[in-house]
């Protein structure tokens, strides 16, 4: 059963809620565009893969998830909203549970799973790209 989204408690919160995208976020676009420029070809939001990874290299068994600090409860930056806690607490907890389920799925099936927090992408995009490229290049050598 789908839970009702609470009404925004202010116009600022309404603006924030409307700005949240399910795909093609600024975060995703930064990483994808940089990879594409360097010649890396991937699938985006591949619905055939469990958990719909943000970026995937299915033939290499590599999935990349770019996790928002808010929606995925980053241990460094997440602060639980003080209003509508009856909605937000189960919502965020379920997101955390789902992340664990998705991670376990790929690890148990011998995929390379890469997860990056939003702040990692914004603070050190080059390290994120270097990590992704390293695993892609290593898997290509084995093929």
Q: Which residues contact 123 (CB under 8 A, 6 or more apart)?
A: none
pLDDT of residue 2: 56
User: Do 69 and 76 form a contact (C-beta atoms < 8 A)?
Assistant: yes
pLDDT of residue 5: 58
User: Do 103 and 51 form a contact (C-beta atoms < 8 A)?
Assistant: no
pLDDT averaged over 10-residue windows placed end to end, the chain, 143 residues: 58 60 85 98 97 98 97 96 93 97 98 98 98 98 89
Burial profile 79-108: b = 16 or more Cβ within 10 angstroms, e = fewer: eeeeeeeeeeeeebeebeeebeebbeebee
In the three-class reduction of DSSP (H, G, I as helix; E, B as strand; rest coil), residue 65 is classed as strand
pLDDT of residue 38: 98
User: Do 139 and 59 form a contact (C-beta atoms < 8 A)?
Assistant: no
pLDDT of residue 12: 59
Distance between CA 117 and CA 120 in Å, rounded? 5
The pTM (predicted TM-score) of the whole model is 0.85
pLDDT of residue 134: 98
Beta bridge partners of 64: 55, 114
pLDDT of residue 23: 77
pLDDT of residue 9: 61
pLDDT of residue 21: 56
């Amino acid at each position: 059963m789908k839970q009702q989204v609470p009404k925004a408690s202010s116009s600022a919160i309404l603006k924030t809620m409307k700005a949240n995208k399910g795909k093609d976020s600024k975060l995703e676009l930064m990483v994808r565009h940089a990879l594409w420029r360097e010649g890396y070809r991937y699938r985006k939001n591949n619905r055939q893969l469990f958990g719909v990874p943000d970026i995937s290299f299915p033939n290499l068994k590599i999935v990349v998830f770019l996790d928002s600090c808010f929606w995925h409860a980053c241990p460094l930056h997440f602060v639980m909203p003080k209003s509508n806690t009856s909605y937000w607490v189960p919502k965020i907890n379920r997101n955390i549970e789902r992340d664990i389920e998705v991670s376990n799925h790929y690890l148990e099936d011998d995929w390379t799973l890469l997860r990056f927090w939003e702040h990692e992408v914004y603070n050190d995009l080059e390290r994120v790209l270097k990590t992704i490229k390293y695993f892609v290049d290593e898997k290509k050598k084995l093929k």
